[in-house]
Amino acid sequence: MAGNGTLAMGVLGLAVACAAVVAQPAPVREKPTGVAPTQPEGRPVQPTAPPAGQRPAAVDSARALEQAMKIMNRSMKNLEANIDKADQKEANLADISQMQSACVGAKRMKPSNIKDPSEKGQEAYRRSHITLLKMLIELEEQVLDGKTAEAKATLGKIKSHKDAAHKEFEKDEPQAPAVR
């Protein structure tokens, strides 16, 4: 009978442990700005038509894209200043994660204000973000492994990719005549 008592104590202990885990509040996670909200299954929320008097979706999409680009630019500046500082590892990883999230958000968008808004141009835009995302994952691994020289080199590749992508996709703005 001693075996049944031991079993009962084990089950009781397991029940108490499970109750303690369930009773703990879930950690609060901040949602990255510039990234579309998601449903519990992880799929993006389907956009709906804006109520009367609100901005059309194209304006909101352009603002969301602009916000994603600002997040990536701000994180890039932080990384350029701190990538070689061992005491900034966690901050660097946080900036890389923000860039990855913003990149995924921007990749999903179909901007109408690129040089070639056709289906072919949209695909090239998406592929460019896929390339960037791969480089960001490589950078994250290098930072995690403490490979500073490689991380600096990858950051340089990311900057070159950014410059080339902006040249490829941004419409040329007409230059205002010089005022004398």
| Per-residue pLDDT, 88 | 97
123 vs 54: which has the higher pLDDT: 123
Q: Helices 148-169 and 57-82 meet at what angle, rounded to 10?
A: 150
One-letter amino acid identity for 127? R
Whole-angstrom Cα distance, residue 2 to residue 6?
6
Pick the most confident of 109-118, 147-156, 161-170: 147-156
pLDDT tens digits, one per residue of 43-95? 444 444 455 555 445 557 889 999 999 999 999 999 999 999 999 999 999 99
Q: What is the pTM of this model?
A: 0.65
**pLDDT value at position 91?**
97
Instruction: Tell me: pLDDT of 20 over 50.
Output: no
Three-class HEC string of the chain: CHHHHHHHHHHHHHHHHHHHHHHCCCCCCCCCCCCCCECCCCCECCCCCCCCCCCCHHHHHHHHHHHHHHHHHHHHHHHHHHCCCHHHHHHHHHHHHHHHHHHHHHHHCCCCCECCCCHHHHHHHHHHHHHHHHHHHHHHHHHHCCCHHHHHHHHHHHHHHHHHHHHHHECCCCCCCCCC
Cβ count near 142 (within 10 Å): 20
Superfamily of domain 57-169: Cytochrome c/b562 (1.20.120.10)
